């Protein structure tokens, strides 16, 4: 098939014969119109310079940013307010005048529990907007460009598409990039008998599905190929990507998947989600009934009241669920789908950072008053609390056997680490890495599957200086290598990458966009990226010290994260 020319360094390799396991540093867990990042180069708002596209819903007029046609704040759904709150999203009605698409749309209502990662706190319900970055609105010949559909992270609790500058992925990789907002926290996920009659409660996932349908209807007008859509996301965005891979309602809407910081495994059941929704309703003063009066009471709550029930600036409430098994939108646990093969069999790429838990520890430190370093007592308390209790969000969670706490403490002796914080980093990161590897071993034989670990421990941080805290290759640290100048929310510090980090960024963008083009991340010259297999495989590491892809064996990855121990210790459903 004809494909438009791409930059010379993106010579994609189509062969999938190489053994693969690629790893990259990181651990999984993302008002008025917002102006694009000030560092971006935006052309003057003259009619001659501004690109215009006629979508099926109406005409939009964008801007030129860094040589890319960008359209901000395109509505893909009617505002989910009033009677549309806690309803499936409704497709946006057509408009007749030209829509000014030069600014981001409002971000979705959130409390902002992740410090400088997201925000600002707000009560916007009218927030279902998307953004399109296209390097070529009219590619020559018959070829259309691959589409990268990005789902931001933030625990499905906060975050926004704002700040994810897709121009580098678009220009360097010759792809069309789509970023979206979707309903968050209690606005996005609420199960209640008065609301969920035929609706199911996974509103945030349904928002994303409607945005994917918008892509199917309109992306060709931006130069994109609706038959080559890569859905990817970071943290909660990676989890949601997995929901689309397993949801029967998303089939045909995506053709490749990228999980940046974790493959989803276990999510709340319908029973748990319903119990939390009823508890929220009772706390709101609306009772537990299934009648219209209860539904109206809930919809009469102000957005500020809903967000107060969702949590505080340092913690989510007990009513939060995120995606859950509802029987229609999501019909089974992700781990069940991986094991029984009932999912979209499409190429997948799974990326992690080396020190995923470093982010959570930094966030906890950020909210401490006073901010004091972690102690031996903090380490012991974490291990004791975690491994003497239950093991997951299911109806009757299993419990860890007696003696598990002592085994974990023996495996992670404090004397082996330079500080209690580094011990906490390891004891929290390693189980997640090994759980991810467990599902990689299940998925690898079923689909073309690539993995990577990002190990760049000197990546710039958007956090302020925290006394005595050592930043590593923390969760979210790799985002800025894909989206230039990404710095979390408005409180985050902006940093430019240095020369070596910029070279690493080029490698990661190459891999992602090669994958979007061919389902294979190869194309990086002399450092082939092997396909993942459980034995004999070579994971890829992205490193600042050597700003090219380097490989390690699966056994080396396992040893680095103590997976032999965790495979025997963790309770991992499969």
DSSP per-residue letters across 398-432: -BPPTTHHHHHHHHS-GGGSSSHHHHHHHHHHHHH
Evaluated on CA atoms 309, 84, 267, 440, the torsion sign reads negative
pLDDT tens for each residue of 333-379: 999 999 999 999 999 999 999 999 999 999 999 999 899 999 999 99
pLDDT tens for each residue of 505-558: 998 999 999 999 999 998 644 457 888 877 766 667 766 555 556 777 888 899
d(CA 379, CA 412): 10
pLDDT tens for each residue of 292-342: 999 999 999 999 999 999 998 778 899 999 999 999 999 999 999 999 999
| E strand spans, 39-97 | 52-54, 59-61, 63-65, 68-75
3-state secondary structure at position 73: strand
d(CA 317, CA 297): 20
Identify which has the larger pLDDT, 38 or 435: 435
Task: Map tokens 């860890």 to a residue.
Answer: 400
The band of 396, judged by pLDDT with boundaries at 50, 70 and 90, is low
Residues with Cβ within 8 Å of 122's Cβ and at least 6 positions away in sequence, in order, are: 31, 106, 107, 109, 110
Q: What is the pLDDT of residue 365?
A: 94
pLDDT tens for each residue of 178-202: 999 999 999 999 999 999 777 779 9
pLDDT tens for each residue of 112-169: 778 888 888 899 999 999 999 999 998 766 689 999 999 999 999 999 999 899 999 9
Per-chain mean pLDDT for the chain: 88
Contact 530, 521 (CB under 8 A): no
Contact 505, 9 (CB under 8 A): no
Terminal C-alpha separation, the chain: 40
Q: Which domains does the chain have, with CATH numbers?
A: 53-350 (3.40.50.1820), 353-569 (3.40.50.1820)
């Amino acid at each position: 098939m004809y494909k438009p020319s791409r930059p010379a360094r993106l010579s994609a390799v189509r062969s999938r014969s190489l053994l693969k396991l690629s790893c990259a540093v990181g651990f999984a867990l993302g008002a008025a119109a917002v102006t694009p990042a000030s560092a971006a180069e935006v052309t003057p708002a003259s009619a001659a310079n501004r690109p215009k596209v006629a979508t099926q819903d109406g005409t939009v007029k964008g801007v030129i940013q860094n040589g890319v046609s960008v359209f901000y704040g395109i509505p893909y759904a009617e505002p989910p307010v009033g009677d549309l709150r806690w309803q499936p999203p409704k497709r946006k009605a057509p408009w007749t005048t030209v829509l000014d698409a030069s600014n981001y749309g409002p971000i979705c209502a959130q409390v902002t529990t992740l410090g400088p990662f997201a925000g600002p706190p707000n009560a916007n319900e009218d927030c279902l907007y998307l953004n399109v970055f296209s390097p070529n609105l009219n590619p020559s010949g018959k070829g259309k460009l691959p589409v990268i559909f990005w789902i931001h992270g933030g625990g499905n609790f906060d975050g926004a598409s704002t700040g994810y500058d897709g121009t580098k992925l678009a220009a360097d990789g010759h792809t069309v990039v789509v970023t979206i907002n979707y309903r968050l926290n209690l606005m996005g996920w609420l199960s209640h008998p008065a609301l969920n009659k035929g609706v199911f409660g996974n509103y945030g996932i349904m928002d994303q599905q409607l945005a994917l349908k918008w892509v199917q209807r309109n992306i060709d007008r931006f130069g994109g190929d609706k038959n080559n859509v890569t859905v990817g996301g970071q943290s909660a965005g990676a989890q949601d990507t997995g929901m689309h891979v397993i949801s029967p309602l998303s089939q045909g809407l995506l053709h490749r998947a990228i999980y940046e910081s974790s493959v989803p495994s276990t999510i709340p059941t319908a029973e748990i989600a319903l119990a939390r929704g009823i508890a929220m309703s009772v706390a709101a003063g609306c009772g537990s009934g299934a009648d219209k009066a209860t539904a109206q009471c809930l919809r009469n709550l102000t957005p500020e009241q809903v967000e107060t029930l969702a949590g505080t600036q340092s913690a989510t409430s007990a009513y939060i669920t995120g995606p859950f098994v509802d029987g229609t939108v999501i019909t089974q646990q992700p781990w069940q789908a991986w094991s029984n093969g009932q999912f979209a069999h499409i190429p997948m790429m799974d990326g992690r950072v080396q020190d995923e838990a470093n982010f959570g520890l930094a966030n906890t430190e950020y909210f401490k008053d006073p901010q004091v370093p972690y102690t031996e007592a903090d380490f012991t308390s974490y291990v004791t609390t975690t491994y003497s209790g239950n093991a997951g969000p299911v109806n009757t969670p299993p419990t860890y056997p007696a003696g598990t706490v002592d085994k974990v403490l023996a495996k992670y002796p404090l004397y082996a680490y330079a500080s209690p914080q580094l011990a906490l980093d390891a004891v929290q990161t390693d189980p997640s890495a090994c759980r991810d590897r467990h599902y990689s071993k299940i998925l690898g034989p079923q689909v073309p599957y690539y993995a990577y670990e990002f190990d760049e421990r000197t990546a710039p941080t958007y956090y302020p200086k925290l006394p005595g805290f050592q930043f590593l290759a923390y969760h979210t640290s790799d985002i800025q290598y894909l989206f230039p100048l990404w710095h979390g929310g408005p409180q985050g510090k902006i940093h430019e990458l240095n020369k070596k980090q910029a070279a690493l960024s080029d490698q990661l963008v190459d891999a992602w966009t090669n994958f979007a083009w061919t389902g294979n991340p190869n194309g990086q010259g002399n450092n082939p990226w092997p396909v993942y297999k459980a034995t004999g495989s070579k994971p890829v590491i992205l490193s600042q010290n050597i700003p090219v892809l380097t490989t390690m064996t699966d056994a080396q990855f396992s040893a680095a994260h103590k997976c032999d121990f965790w495979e025997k210790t963790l309770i991992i459903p499969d």
